[in-house]
């Protein structure tokens, strides 16, 4: 019960695993917790519902089976894409910072980047909230920081 980490790492459990703690999350993806799997679960359920509607419900009678399969697989692919692009290998505050950055985007029609095409706007963002030397140590979510700022 009170064994140290050195004693745990010395004992080999298998010839290839030396007893160190594994860094693998769910589905073999590093950093994926159980709470991050909800988009994939919703995508799989929606995938099954679409497949039943397309193949058995006659929603797309003239379509080929390849097209129906691709359309039915889209929700599960989007759920897996969410895991792969926004969760795996990202710091805990990554999604919050990304949301702040998207909300901070502004279109400027007054000063276009190309004088020959004045309808093309300049895109800019004020990303001061998402950066700085303090941000690397900050593990709180942006919403929690705003609530603390509002209180104090």
pLDDT digits (tens, 9 = 90+) for 102-129: 888 888 777 777 777 767 787 887 777 6
Q: What is the pLDDT of residue 33?
A: 75
Res 21 pLDDT > 60: no
| Band (77; pLDDT cuts 50, 70, 90) | very high
SS3 (DSSP) at 105: strand
Tokens of 123: 């895109």
Q: What is the pLDDT of residue 8?
A: 46
Res 18 pLDDT > 80: no
Res 19 pLDDT > 80: no
- Whether the CB-CB separation of 92 and 136 falls below 8 Å is answered with no
**Torsion sign over Cα 60, 66, 72, 74:** negative
- Whether the CB-CB separation of 57 and 68 falls below 8 Å is answered with no
User: Among 5-19, 20-34, 78-92, 112-126, where is mean pLDDT lowest?
Assistant: 5-19
Res 55 pLDDT > 80: yes
């Amino acid at each position: 019960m009170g064994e140290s980490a050195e004693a745990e790492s010395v004992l080999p459990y298998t010839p290839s695993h030396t007893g160190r703690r594994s860094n693998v999350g769910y589905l073999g993806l590093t950093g994926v917790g159980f709470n991050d799997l909800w988009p994939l679960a919703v995508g799989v359920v929606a995938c099954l519902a679409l497949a039943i509607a397309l193949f058995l419900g006659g929603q797309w009678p003239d379509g080929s089976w390849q097209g129906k399969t691709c359309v039915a697989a889209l929700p599960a692919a989007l759920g897996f894409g969410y895991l792969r692009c926004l969760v795996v290998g990202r710091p805990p505050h990554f999604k919050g910072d990304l949301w702040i950055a998207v909300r901070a985007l502004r279109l400027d029609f007054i000063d276009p980047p190309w004088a020959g095409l004045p309808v093309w706007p300049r895109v800019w963002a004020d990303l001061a909230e998402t950066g700085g030397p303090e941000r690397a140590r900050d593990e709180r979510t942006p919403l929690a920081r705003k609530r603390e700022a509002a209180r104090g």
